Amino acid sequence: MEETLSFPLWLRINHVINLFCMFLLMRSGVQILADHPKLYWNDGTTPGSEWAHFGTKVMPKDRLWISMDEAEHINSIVALPGGHHNLGAARNWHFLIVPVWIVNGLSYAIFLGVTGEWRRLIPTSWTIIPRAWESALTFASLQIPPDSAFTPYDPLQQLTYATVVFLVAPLMILTGLCMSPALIARFPWYPKLFGGRQAARSLHFIGLMTLVLYTLVHVTLVVVVHFPEDVSDMVLGSTNPNVTLALWIASMVLIGVVLFHIWATIYTLRYQRQFQTHATAIVEPLMRFLFGSLRSRQQYAKADISPYFRVNGYPPEHESYQRLATENFADWTLTIGGLVEQPLALSLEDLRVFPKQEQITKHNCIQGWSAVAEWGGVRMSTILDRCRLLPQARYVVFHAFPQAEYAPNTYYEVLTLEDILDPQTMLAYEMNWKPLPIPHGAPCRLRIEIKTGYKMVKYLRAIEVVDSFGGIGKGHGGYREDHQYYDKVAAI
C-alpha cells in the first residue's frame, strides 16, 4: 500500500524548532561535561574508576588537588560558549532551551496521536524487524532500497525514527532529571531506576552520542536518498512542487541556525554577566517551581559510603585559620548575627551541646561528580530558633575564612529561609564519624542536601541573617554566582 508522504505544517514547524533546540542542547551539554570530563557507573566517582575520560589532565599523587583542577578547556566550535570553566553560562543555555525542547516534543507527540500520523512512526507488526534488517543490508551494500520500500518510510528508517523519538528523547529527559540533587534527595529510589546518578549521567552522554550519530546519518541519507524531493516535502509539504523555493528556504534556515550559534557564543563570552542576569530571570523561577519545595529524605546505609570523597576548594592558607588549625580549632568561634534577637558566638564545644543530627547523604557537585558520606552536626533550624529571627529576616549568608584562590574575596553563599528549613540542612562538624577533616571544611561546614555542592560553605567563620544580599560580594547571591555566573537556586 503506497502512502503519499505529506508533512503537515505543524510537523514542519516542530521539526525546525527541534533542530534549533538540539544543537544548542548538544553544545551546552558538551561544555557542562568538560567541567568534569569523566564518566562513571559508580556514585562515589572514585578516581580511576571512570569508564571514559576526555582530556589529558592527570591529577598529582603527592599533593592535594581539587575537582576544579580537573576541568578541561574546550573549543567554542564544539561547546557553547567554549573556553575554560564556563559552566554557569552553559547550564543557563541548557536550562533555557530544555523547556522549549520538551514543550515542542510534547506538542509533536500530541499532534502525532491526534492526527493518526503516529502509525507511520510506531511499528504495528514485528515483521518490521526482518524488513529493517533487509534494508540495512541494502544500505550496507551502498544501494538504496526500491521506492516501494518507502511506505512512507523505509522500515529501517521507521524503526530508527521511532527509537529516537520514543526511546532516546524521553531517556534524555528522565536521566537529566537524575542530575537534580533536590529531586534525588526527596526520591532516592529514582536514580536507582537507571543504576544510580552516575549511571544516569553516563546514559545521558550515551544518549547524546546516539543523537549526534543519528543526526549525521539522517542528514547524509536525506542528501543521498531522494534529494531534493525530501527537502521539498520537509519545507513546503508534498503538495507544493516548488523545489527551488524549498532549497532556498532550507538554506536560509540552516544559515540562520549557524548565525544564531555564532551570535550566542560571542554574546555569552563577551557579556557573561548580562547573559547570567537575563537567563537566570527565567531559569531560576522554573527551577524553584520544579524543585523548590522538595525536602531531603535521604538515609543511605553505612555500606553506601564512598571510599573516596573529592575535594573542591583548597583549605585557607591564611594565618587566622592556620593558627586555629594547629590548636584543633579550640579557639574557633562561629558568630551568628544580623537580623536576630540574640546574636551568638559558638565554639565547637558549644555546637556539641546542641542535639546532634546524623545523616548519610549523597553530595552532588555542580561539575558532575558525587560521593556519599556520613555527616554529624547541628540542624540549622535549631540554631536559628536559638537566636530568634527578626521579622525582616529573609536570607542567611554563610561566610568562609579567606582562601588564597579567591583572594581578595572570600567564599560565601546565600540561602533563603525556606532552603534552610530543610530538615537535613545542618552545620556539620563530623564526617564519617570523625572530626571534619581540613580539606572538607574543618572545623565546621554547611550541609544542604537539596542543593549542588557549591552552596555548602566550608571553613565557616560567620553566619549573617539579612533582608537582602545585594550589598554582599558582587550581590548575586554567592561567590560562585558572582565570579562563575552560576544561578543561585542550585537545585539541579
Ligand X SMILES: Nc1nc2c(c(=O)[nH]1)N[C@H]1C(S)=C(S)[C@@H](COP(=O)(O)O)O[C@H]1N2
C-beta atoms surrounding 88 within 10 Å: 22
Contacting residues for 204 by C-beta, under 8 A, at least 6 apart: 172, 175, 176, 178, 179
Q: What grid cell was written down for 298?
A: 535521604
Interaction with ligand X in 234-293: which residues (CB under 6 A)?
none
Residue nearest to ligand X (CB): 313
In whole angstroms, the minimum distance from the beta carbon of 229 to ligand X comes to 53
Residue closer to ligand X (CB basis): 40 or 139 = 40
Instruction: Point out which span in 240-248, 297-305, 322-330, 452-460 binds ligand X (CB under 6 A).
Output: 452-460
Nearest-angstrom CA–CA distance, 356 and 97: 43
Residue from 131, 310, 451, 461 binding ligand X (CB under 6 A)? 310
- Quickly count: other Cβ atoms within 10 Å of residue 339's Cβ: 17
Binding residues for ligand X restricted to 343-372, rule: CB under 6 A: 365
Residues contacting Mo ion: total by CB under 5 A: 5
CB of 67 to ligand X, least distance (A): 7
Instruction: State the number of CA atoms in the 13 A half-sphere of 135 facing the CB.
Output: 21
**376-435 binders of ligand X (CB under 6 A):** 400, 403, 411
Binding status of residue 321 toward ligand X by CB under 6 A = no
Cα 339-342-343 angle, rounded to 5 deg: 75
Cα 238 from Cα 296, distance rounded (Å): 53
In one-letter notation, the amino acid at residue 172 is M
Stretch that binds ligand X, among 88-96, 97-105, 326-334, 448-456 (CB under 6 A): 448-456
| Residue from 209, 240, 216 nearest 39 by CA | 209
Closest separation in Å from C-beta 71 to ligand X = 11
Contact positions with Mo ion (CB under 5 A) in 403-462: 453-454
Nearest to 128 by CA among 93, 159, 174: 159
Q: Which residue has the cell 534556515?
A: 253
Q: Alpha-carbon distance 151 to 158, whole Å?
A: 9
Partner touching 359 among ligand X, Mo ion, none, CB below 5 to 8 Å by kind: none
484 binds ligand X (CB under 6 A): no
Q: Which amino acid is at 484?
A: Q
Question: Nearest approach, Cβ of 367 to Mo ion (angstroms)?
Answer: 5
When binding is defined by CB under 5 A, the residue of 90, 365, 371, 378 that contacts Mo ion is 365
Q: Candidates 188-196, 262-270, 310-318, 426-434: pick the segment binding Mo ion (CB under 5 A).
A: 310-318
* Cβ distance to ligand X smaller for residue 334 or 400: 400
Question: What's the distance, Cα to Cα, between the start and end of the chain in Å?
Answer: 49
Q: Which residues are at the interface with Mo ion (CB under 5 A)?
A: 312, 365-366, 453-454
Q: Which residues are at the interface with ligand X (CB under 6 A)?
A: 309-313, 365, 400, 403, 411, 440-441, 453-454, 456-459
